[in-house]
Copies of this chain bind each other. A is one copy, B any other.
């Protein structure tokens, strides 16, 4: 079993599955907060996107990525991916109000 690496592979996959569950729950909580941010922005007439805030977030996450040996390019692409989903939600909230 161990000789062909299948047992070791199964163990690592089980850890990946645990991390992915944590990832989903963390993102679910993050979207709950950004939904509230979206409602607040719509109520106060603030713009959905905030380029200055996003630039600071990218710089901070790139720096955290370097510290934790994650590719900073990947961290930036991931944040852009999440933020574009958030902006899509915010625009939907705004449109639902008109």
**Interfacial residues, chain A to chain B (CB-CB below 8 A):** 4-5, 8-9, 12-13, 15-17, 19-34, 36-37, 40-41, 43-44, 46, 53, 57, 60-61, 64-65, 68-71, 74-75, 77-79, 81-82, 85
The answer on a CB contact under 8 Å between A40 and B75 is: no
**What's the nearest-Cβ distance from chain B to residue A41, in Å?**
8
The answer on a CB contact under 8 Å between B23 and A23 is: yes
The answer on a CB contact under 8 Å between A65 and B28 is: yes
The answer on a CB contact under 8 Å between A44 and B13 is: no
Known interface pairs A5-B44, A13-B37, A15-B33; A24-B81 also in contact (CB < 8 Å): no
Contacts of A25 in B (CB 8 A): 64, 68
